[in-house]
Amino acid sequence: MNDWFDYLIFSINIVRMALRNPNYMFAKLLLEFGVDVSSLSVPRTALRFDYLPIEERALLLKYAFYVLEMTYEDWLRCCQELDITQNSFQWSRRTVIPKAFYRVYNQLPKTPTRRYVAQSEELQPASPEAVKASWNRLKRKMTMLKYYDNHLKKD
């Protein structure tokens, strides 16, 4: 039963994202499933599902049930047509893919994430030209500050 509720919340989040942006991939996915989100109103609040007004909850549940009724084959076909990958379902670091969705999720391609190379802690001295240019900028700045201070003293 817990898996079913996790999948329901997951489906509700897909519907919420689709309602927020009708040009986004999840809105197109719902359109493929037969749900036209362009005519629907966006929920007025961005609260958790538990805290939403009853009307908004009913609307989200109605369209989430459309998502729940989709077959494995429909999911795969639509995701492939729209180039939806595993990464598309990772909304935040806390996103948990429900067990009921694993069968579809594991069949989707995974886009490799970018790895950032940490900068080394070693000192990397600048070239003599860069040091001279920096020194000349500092001297020019000091000269300009001196003239600026003299100008302020006259007023």
In a domain, 119, yes or no: no
The pLDDT assigned to 39 comes to 67
Please report which confidence band the pLDDT of residue 9 belongs to, taking 50, 70 and 90 as the band edges. Answer: confident
In a domain, 130, yes or no: no
Tell which wins on pLDDT, 135 or 35: 135
The pLDDT assigned to 35 comes to 78
In a domain, 134, yes or no: no
Q: Please spell the DSSP secondary structure of the chain, one letter per residue.
A: -HHHHHHHHHHHHHHHHHHH-TTSHHHHHHHHTT---TTSPPPS----GGGS-HHHHHHHHHHHHHHHT--HHHHHHHHHHTT--GGGG--STT----GGGHHHHTTS--PPPPPPPPPPSS--PPPHHHHHHHHHHHHHHHHHHHHHHHHHHH-
**What does the pLDDT look like over 97-150, one tens digit per residue?**
888 888 888 888 887 777 777 777 777 778 899 899 999 999 999 998 888 878
In a domain, 140, yes or no: no
Tell which wins on pLDDT, 59 or 39: 59
In a domain, 38, yes or no: yes
**What does the pLDDT look like over 50-97, one tens digit per residue?**
788 888 888 888 888 888 888 888 888 888 888 888 888 887 778 888
Please report which confidence band the pLDDT of residue 11 belongs to, taking 50, 70 and 90 as the band edges. Answer: confident
The pLDDT assigned to 140 comes to 92
In a domain, 18, yes or no: yes
In a domain, 58, yes or no: yes
Q: What is the pTM of this model?
A: 0.65
Please tell me the total count of domains within the chain.
Answer: 1
In a domain, 16, yes or no: yes
Q: What is the mean pLDDT of residues 36-59?
A: 76
